[in-house]
Structure 1
Amino acid sequence: MGTLVSISPTTGAEVGRWTSHTEDDLSTAVQQASEAADQWRFSSWDIRAALLHAVSHELSSRRVTLANLMVDEMGKPISEALSEIDKCAVAAEFFGEHAEGFLADRPVETSASRSWVAHEPLGVILAVMPWNFPFWQVVRFAAPALAAGNAALLKHAPSVTGCALAAQELFRAAAASVGAPEALFTTLLIDESDVAEATTRIIDHPSVAAITLTGSERAGMSVAAAAAHALKKSVLELGGSDPFIVLGDADVPAAARAAVKSRFLNGGQSCLAAKRFIVAESVADEFTEIFARLTSELIVGDPHDPATQIGPVARISQAEALQQQVDTSIAAGAVAVVGGRPLVPGSAFFQPTILTDVTPEMAVFKEETFGPIAAVVRASDDEHAVRLADTTVYGLGASVWSTNVDRALAVGRRINSGALFVNAVVASDPRVPFGGTRRSGYGRELSVEGIREFTNVRTFWVDDSTPDSNEQGTVK
């Protein structure tokens, strides 16, 4: 048994500490979730919708408390933390309203008297979630999973244990308000030293049906391997190094403003943030000048201050890793036109940074930069821009900026990504599916595709005729 400790990256002070669950505790939690799932799978659409609406209400009523907890545990600026809770509430409402339609039986014309395709719950879903969006990542999986009739187990990042327990509290309060089983949502507290073994043991448990993970490549490979060994489905949303392509005919000032938003939201700690800014040679100077000026005006400071736009990164070690990526890139020829250093040496505050003269061999181009660092790369033409954009192992999102939408689509269609945004910042939205390709993972979350990931697609074939006339065509 260990202890989970949450440390504020802003002050270095302890936010909270909790005793981790024992092996017996975890086993009991899985068993209770299984019993809840067995009951919930036969629940009506009305009560499932009521649960999701109750979750939305709990999020809204606890909005300020939950937002401040995020600020304390991982340094998100308070304005962004409040917006995150609002987005969670919208997502819960969305699945409360649309789950029944998304999972409705689909009649199919066959030689049977009646045949249809149904989507049925799998059972208990284990989610392994990261710290960067402590509530959104949770609601993004839990809302559709519960709406589909499953139960949810959450293994959250240890650094946001307070948020993880707050999520359990709000989901259970919602469940109690509609008479749903309490154990439909359970947070598991696992000591960091035991994560690999304990997670594998939970995945192996007969009652756990599937796994979803948002996190690093290393974590994704580990969980995917354990899921494959247990012959269980997994959905992975991993890293990203999204290209932000500015073509020669783009509205450059608008693109530069969007670039600031895309790169520096959440302190740059987002898998779907634009990280590589691939700009046509003809507008590169103009774009870089505006981008640099707007970036230098960002307010860095106390994340509890509503005026703050950039808080600390999650850990001092993360700031040190960012510094190494910047230093090695500068040594290879990149130029820091803004930032390039910690705001205060030895702290988790890193200056918003723009590097120019970046080439594909540099660390800030090849690697995922999980913090406020932007790499600007020049492209000679559209073909060159496509090659640069696709010179990556990732494939989460991509955005293309042009006053000619057809041209932008032609460029974007040649890039491997799970999402393409034209003249807009890449973002997740409950109404459309979210996920990546290549080393950004597989499977989808959100929308109809996301809710169906954790269902059994079941065929029903009914023949009301006499046994002798039961002919189904070719048997295979």
Structure 2
Amino acid sequence: MTYQSVNPFDGKLVQTFEDLEDAEVERKIAAAHACFQTWRNTSFVDRARIIAKAGEILHTRADALARIMTGEMGKRIGEARGEVEFSARIMAYYAANAERFLAPVKLHPTNGEAHMESSPIGVIFCVEPWNFPYYQLARVAGPHLMAGNTMVVKHAAIVPQCAIAFEQVLIEAGAPVGLYTNLLISHAQSDTVVDDLRIRGVALTGSVGAGRSVAARAGKNLKSSSMELGGSDAFIVLEDADLDVTIPWAVWGRMYNTGQTCCAAKRFIVVESMADAFLERFTAALAALEAGDPLDEKTTLGPLSTEQALLDLVRQVDGAVAHGAKLALGGKRIDRPGSYMAPTILTDIAPDNPAFREEFFGPVASFFRVKDEEAAIALANDSDFGLGGSVWTKDVVRGRRVASRIETGMMFINNLDWTDAELPFGGIKDSGYGRELGDMGIQQFVNKKLVRTHDVKAPA
């Protein structure tokens, strides 16, 4: 049984779902391919009517959909509602802007006239993770459906109810059969889908291992792909940072979604003159968080998504300590029902410690002292990942200078606010390739065709 909904608050099994039979997978891909033949020629106005309606439904049912999410992967209810609302805004954004983003672009050749035009490529296969069960779907569905593609989607095995609910939103919004199809399939079946000739693009958000595997298979089939993988974002605190601003963002940046965010602040790199004050205040703020029912608005620390995620994280922290790191806070599971991990701060992490390069996907912060700005930049770039990061300073010009030198796909100065449909999201190095959201996100799976007119005789 691949798909199970288990509440991480109390460990109770809520519901199980059978994997689709191969014949049913074939039927659904065939329907998506057939739908594409019509949808590709559907006007932007008619596409937008469905996608905008889906956004309206998400907004109207934000609380109900959020409760499904909280029950399946433990996200605190306020954060869950915020995710559903952001998903609604993404759908509305692409409904309103897709035609403008994909409008023909006039070129200026030496002779004649030319333009670039955009057209959809076919059925897109998306493999999505559990940590943002609706947002991850909206940020591929909004752009790629508005571009004229159709989609088949394998969502994470622990959030099947969210996957089904999102598909139902689109159906209720008027989506034709085959426009957006949820697939409850195994990893082996997923490989078969990637190989299918009717699939023309592959998008994955997930682990580095999953990305390498799926990207290799897509590449073997000469299919376009985008990969949004892990991250180990640096949170750089310079000597002129305002800690009254910085500390709340540090807590939010590490603890949002119980730390289970690819672009979370994970490596806290603080110049020596600020290190003691920052660590003292950061430690106190994390220690004040209280575990509780994620459906309770007052809860400040939710559970991890699964019991296995908790066990893996504790094992990872124990390994870091065994290799010489020190615990400034936490390091253990919380003694209570559910999959709760104590907020944790690791210090004294040497370059030969596995923790120096690992991603901690949960409420674990790595703390580093550095001599100065140059050392902070060097340490921030000494990472296999390159998703995002932030720099904290009262001098915005200085902040921009530092941001430009960090090897990532995204940098934030005195904030960590990535929740805007207008802003492209993605990274480099082991964090993957391609971009989602913004104008760039809708360009990922479209054919950019050159059309030229030139009245000239053929060469002799």
Q: Same fold (TM over 0.5)?
A: yes
Q: How does 1:355-394 map to 2 (within 5 A)?
A: 355-394=346-385
Deviates more, 1:404-413 or 1:119-128: 404-413
What does residue 183 of structure 2 align with? 188
Tell me how many residue pairs correspond in the alignment: 460
TM-score normalised by length of structure 1? 0.93
Residue 320 of structure 1 corresponds to which residue in structure 2? 311
- Counterpart of 2:225 in structure 1 is 234
Deviation at 1:319? 1.2
* 1:52 matched residue in structure 2: 51
Of 434, 440, 444, which aligns to 2:431?
440
Where does residue 99 of structure 1 map in the other structure?
A: 98
Cα distance per residue 1:84-139 (max 9 Å; x no partner): 00000111111111111110001112256432101110111100001000000010
What letter is aligned with 1:30? I
User: Tell me, what secondary structure is at the counterpart of 1:149?
Assistant: coil
Partner residue of 1:218? Answer: 209
What CA deviation, in whole Å up to 9, does each residue of 1:130-167 have, x standing for no partner? 10000000101110000101101110111101111111
Q: Secondary structure at the match of 1:419?
A: coil
Superposition deviation, residue 390 in structure 1: 1.1
| Aligned mates of 2:88, 2:336 — CA distance in 1 | 38
Contact 2:2 2:157 in 1 (8 A): no
Superposed counterparts of 1:35-50, under 5 Å: 35-50=34-49
CA–CA distance in structure 2, aligned partners of residues 115 and 410 of structure 1: 39
TM-align CA RMSD: 1.7
Is the contact made by 1:117 and 1:460 (CA closer than 8 Å) also made in structure 2? yes
Q: Distance in 2 between matches of 1:309 and 1:171?
A: 33
After the TM superposition, which of the residue ranges 105-114 and 215-224 deviates more from structure 2?
105-114
Contact map agreement 1:253 1:290 (CA 8 A) in 2: no
Deviation larger for 215-224 or 12-21: 12-21
Give CA-to-partner distance per residue, 1:258-308, whole Å, 9 cap, x none. 100000000000000010000000000111111111111223211111111
Offset from partner CA, 1:308-357 (integer Å, 9 cap, x none): 12211111121122112222222334332322211127841001112233
Q: How does 1:68-217 map to 2 (within 5 A)?
A: 68-110=67-109, 113-174=112-173, 176=174, 180-191=175-186, 195=187, 197-217=188-208
1:380–1:249 Cα change, 3 Å: same
SS at 1:320 equivalent: helix
Question: Following the alignment from structure 1 to structure 2, what is the Cα–Cα distance between the partners of residues 77 and 350?
Answer: 15
Alpha-carbon distance, 1:461 to partner: 1.5
CA contact (8 A) 2:9 2:337 kept: no
Identity of aligned residues (%): 39
1:55 is displaced (CA, Å) by 1.0
1:409, CA displacement in angstroms?
2.1
CA shift at 1:426, angstroms?
5.3
Q: 5 Å matches for 1:298-337?
A: 298-337=289-328
AA at the equivalent of 1:74: M
Residues 386 and 411 of structure 1 are in contact (CA less than 8 Å); yes or no, is this contact kept in structure 2? yes
8 A contact 2:10–2:338 mirrored in 1: no
For 1:186 and 1:254, the matched residues in 2 are separated by: 44
- CA distance, structure 1, for counterparts of residue 119 and residue 437 of structure 2: 17
Q: How does 1:324-473 map to 2 (within 5 A)?
A: 324-344=315-335, 347-425=338-416, 427-463=418-454, 465=455, 469-470=456-457
Matched, 1:18 2:17: yes
Q: For 2:425 and 2:159, how far apart are their aligned partners in 1? A: 23
Whole-angstrom distance in 1 between the partners of 2:133 and 2:211: 18
- Alignment partner, residue 270 of structure 1: 261
Partners of 2:112 and 2:269 lie apart in 1 by 57
> Does structure 2 conserve the Cα–Cα contact (< 8 Å) formed by 1:325 and 1:363?
no
Shift of 1:46: 0.8
1:21/1:189 contact within 8 Å kept? yes
Q: Secondary structure at the match of 1:52?
A: helix
CA distance in 2, matches of 1:360, 1:90: 42
CA distance 1:456–1:47, shift in 2 (3 Å): same
Q: Distance in 2 between matches of 1:300 and 1:66?
A: 23
Deviation per residue, 1:357-405 (Å, 9 max, x gap): 3333334332000000011100101111111111110000010111112
Which region of structure 1 is more displaced relative to structure 2, 211-220 or 362-371? 362-371
Structure 1 residues 112 and 36: alpha-carbon distance in aligned structure 2, compared to 1, 3 A threshold: farther
| Residue pair 1:127, 1:153 contacting (<8 A) in 2 also | yes
Letter in 2 for 1:416: E
Residue 293 (str. 1) matches residue 292 (str. 2): no
Code of the aligned partner of 1:181: P
Q: Secondary structure in 2 aligned to 1:458?
A: strand
**Residues in 1 aligned to 2:337 and 2:85: alpha-carbon distance in whole angstroms:** 34
- Cα 1:470–1:453 change in 2 (3 A) is farther
1: CA distance, partners of 2:105 / 2:169: 34
CA contact (8 A) 1:268 1:370 kept: yes
Is the contact made by 1:398 and 1:426 (CA closer than 8 Å) also made in structure 2?
A: no
Whichever residue aligns with residue 73 of structure 2, its letter is: M
SS in 2 for 1:303: coil
C-alpha distance in 2 between matches for 1:426 and 1:341: 30
